[in-house]
Amino acid sequence: MSLPFVWPVLLWGLLLVPLLVAGYARLQRRPSPHPVAFPNAPLLAAAMARGGRIRRHLPAALYLIAITVLLVALARPVAPLPVPSNKVTVVLSMDISRSMLAQDVAPSRIDAAKTAAQEFVRVLPPGLKVGLVTFSSYATLIVPPTADHARVRDAIDLLSTEFATAIGDGLLEAVWALPGRARPSDPFNPPPTPGLSLPSATVVLLSDGQSNRGILPHDAARIAREQQVKVYTVGVGTPEGTFLNLGGRSIWVRLDEETLREMAEITGGSYYRTTSAAALRQAYRHLGRVIGWESRPTEVTNLTAGAAGVLLMSALLLSFLTVRRVA
């Protein structure tokens, strides 16, 4: 699809390009009025072979491309570029159940999750509001959505583990903390919001286990969808599971990927599986680049003119090197 332009009428200047091409081709066909500088014909043929026909025309080709790009720049092109947006509010909902102490993700699931979550908050655009919810046997709003990202990072650093895993409650607590979403008297059966346009909002939910408390996760995801909230889920650990020693007892802890993937699909979000600290940081960095940015038409005249300048300088340098080699 062609780019829009602020001054599209100046694109008529591109008609000069085929005229320049035709002029260059005519000059190449015209016989030289000067005598041959190399009386040794075999030596001349060898020199031409070394230069090659393509190499001989490359400076002119770069010059013509530079002129074309410069003419496009004069028309002031506009392209959709990602720019920071403060329209979206984000709430991190983090699992702090005791299974997060498992060390199959070094140094432990909880420590890797805290580091990755802090990096996620750090790459969000300044001014974007972000909040923090934790869940174990119950869900708690730790930091309401705020533009003070340092406050959220400090709160993440202080997290510690508790018992049980209430994934659905963790999601709903995050939903009710978002702007425009009022906590209903019956949190499990909120009234529908037909025809209402609610503020843009996103929940990033991380868990490593299986929900065993509170509302069912898929029911919470349907409520989030009705509240126009997109949910991205991050699973830390492995579906095969691992043993965790708690109080002298060996407990098998396993990642429930099916539930997390279903929650994301219901709300139009995405699921990220992470089996290492590096993969967890990569998932959060990707989410940081996706959330809080929007595509906005932006004039790219400077970029286009800069590209034309680089092409022109390359043409001049290549022409100089070619002439020097022949001489």
How many Å apart are CA 150 and CA 212, to the nearest integer? 32
Q: What are phi and psi of 198, to 5 degrees?
A: -90, 155
How many Å apart are CA 123 and CA 83, to the nearest integer? 13
Domain boundaries, given as residue ranges, for the chain: 8-30+39-77+300-326, 84-183+197-293
Q: What are phi and psi of 286, to 5 degrees?
A: -65, -45
For the chain, give the percent of residues with pLDDT over 90: 43
Does the pLDDT of residue 16 top 70, yes or no?
yes
Average pLDDT of the chain to the nearest whole number: 85
Q: What is the CATH number of domain 84-183+197-293?
A: 3.40.50.410
Q: Average pLDDT, stretch 241-260? A: 84
pLDDT (tens digit per residue) in 116-132: 999 999 989 889 999 99
> CB-based burial of residue 299 (10 Å sphere; 0-12 exposed, 13-18 middle, 19+ buried)?
middle
Helices (H) and strands (E) in the chain, counts: 10, 10
pTM above 0.75, yes or no: no
Does the pLDDT of residue 53 top 90, yes or no?
no
How many Å apart are CA 190 and CA 69, to the nearest integer? 57
